[in-house]
A and B are shown apart, each in its own frame.
Chain A
Amino acid sequence: MSELLAVEAVTKRFGTLQALDGVDLVVPANTFHGLIGPNGSGKSTLLKAIAGAHLPTTGTVRFGGRDITNAAPYERARQGMSLKFQITAVLNELSVYDNVLMALQAGESVWSLIRSRARARLRDEVMHALERFRLASRADELAGLLSHGEQQWLEIAMALAPRPKLLLLDEPTAGMSPEERRVTGELLMPIKSECALVIVEHDLDFIRDICDALTVLDQGKVLDTGTVDEIQRSSKVQQVYTTRV
């Protein structure tokens, strides 16, 4: 399977705090990879280092064979990387429709945006993205009026709309009801044919159901990595989870 994302010996220090310590991670195309670990283990920091929100102190991040270690977030997005934040970051004062349009039109030139050339062309794509996440009937409402779960879906719809090669999801089911978590799993499964996924999630049942591989972090280091079955049998992982979680 072709390698899409490769994180090599990445470290990240915040002052005296060593948040990541020599982390390696490989994600092939069209696979779902979960990042798990106790609180403070460095999962979200690793996701942000991949997305460009934090630059690694040392180490390398490659995406599609290109070194993007020091690339700005917008450059990574243009190469096909998409991120859903841990805290919902929909644009509350814009309509649900405009939120998705914002995500979709990012690839247009400035001149095209000024001329609004893509407004009509992207209409069907916006509605398709909303229908997929059960939000089409609320297209004209303000995004800030959606429920928490719906805002999470809207964010995933926005992240997926530009057809990324890699989707980074930081705790997509945080704050959701059990029913909303189940639906979120159902909504995410079909995207495996479209892109790879790196997901940080505390709900181990959820992550086990959808992921092909897992990486377990502990105190900024990779404790273990492998398929879901391998991780479940790992004595190192069991020790961490039984003693600290």
Chain B
Amino acid sequence: MNKQKTPPGSVNFSALRIGRVLPVIEVAVLVIALVAPWLMTSSPELITLATNILILSLLAISFDLCWGYSGIMSFGQALYFGVAGYSIALIGRDLGFSHAWGMLPLAMGVGLLLSFIFAVFLLLGRRTPTVIFVSLGTLTGAYAAERLVSGWQYVGAGNGLSSVKLLQFGGFEMVEGPAFYYLALALLFAGYLASRYIVRSQFGLVLAGMRQNEERLAFFGYRIQAFKALIFSFAGMLAGLAGALYAYHQGFIGPGNMGPGLSTTAVLYALFGGSGTLIGPVIGTFLIETISYVLADQDAIKQYWPVILGTVLLAVVVFKPTGILGFVLTARERIGSYGGRK
């Protein structure tokens, strides 16, 4: 086959074109998510699994905003998730209140406030902090919180809080099933759209520049620490929302839902799917949780699953740092374009 040559001096338009793979993947995932419950009507436990995946995807997106878009290596996303979950569980238990219009914004506020407090200590110093400093700071925070609740009887100590009061939505009590699935999907969709709007805005351009050369941006007049603190707090807010949904859906929240274990899992969801894409972490969550679910019934394999998972993820990080989406997305499309001549 004759390969068409580009005449000397002419513009190579294929090099200029921004790929359009990402929107196709986003729409495909949305369509699949919308029809999924109809395909699982005979198996309620699959709807429960799917709902869990949607909720954890929100947590994975919150990590992606930190690392994939802002270069903040946070091992503390589960902290905001867990504290928000505990908050709604305690209010339900002690005050008997669980209306969605009050509790979901409250959970978001808890995540926002707590992550902002961490941002003040970890990100808002005079100089921009190192990745190691932030990752160790967030890891320590999550670990300390997990240890604290493990020994605190008021919050159930090591047993956590079970029988979380059901979420009231309008006149309905939201139990596991298609209704909760669509509520989780709607909130994931809203969180995704808000995140997408931010990372594709001129604010997102600053984040893209920050990832490449923080010092250069400071000399333009950007206070990098403030941008990091803002996106970190927004991500904490999404993690808080996910934590509340998780507690309502599972009817339980425990120390393991706020420690380094879940925080690291969120990191893996995002890196496996493809960080810095938003949809990658959703796909990563789906794949890891689905494979975990399938292997849970395979006695011969399930005990080795953590080892298999760890090996696969190590391979992804070493050989394909852009994750699974890196196989279909160009770097140009992943990074994006924020303006143009037209």
Contact = CB atoms under 8 A, between A and B. Distances in A.
Interface string B195-232: 00110011101101100110111111111101100100
In which size bucket is the chain A interface? Answer: 35 or more
A103 B217 CA distance: 8
Nearest to A94: B208
Interface centre among B201, B221, B222, B337 (most CB of A within 10 A): B221
A140 B203 contact: no
Contacts of A74: 218-224
B203 A91 contact: no
Contacts of A105: 202, 205-206
Contacts of B339: 95, 97-98, 101, 119, 122-123, 126
B16 interface: yes
Nearest to B211: A93
Interface string A81-96: 0110100010111110
B219 A51 contact: yes
A107 B221 contact: yes
B220 A106 contact: yes
Contacts of A140: 16, 337, 340-341
A95 B337 contact: yes
Given A97-B339, A119-B339, A102 B331 contact: no
B32 interface: no
Contacts of B197: 114
A139 B201 contact: no
A85 B216 CA distance: 9
In which size bucket is the chain B interface? Answer: 35 or more
B218 A108 contact: no
Contact of A94 (B203, B219, B226, B335): B335
A107 B221 CA distance: 7
B127 to A, nearest CB: 9
Contact of A142 (B202, B215, B221, B332): B332
Nearest to B16: A140
Given A85-B216, A106-B222, A97 B201 contact: no
A18 interface: no
Nearest to B220: A106
Which 10 pairs, one residue from A and one from B, show the smallest C-beta to C-beta distance? A77-B221, A106-B221, A113-B203, A113-B202, A106-B220, A73-B218, A116-B201, A89-B216, A114-B203, A78-B221
Interface of A: 51, 53, 72-74, 77-78, 82-83, 85, 89, 91-95, 97-98, 101-103, 105-108, 110, 112-119, 122-123, 126-127, 139-142, 158, 162
Given A73-B218, A91-B213, A91-B216, 5 more contacts: A51-B219, A98-B337, A101-B339, A117-B202, A123-B341
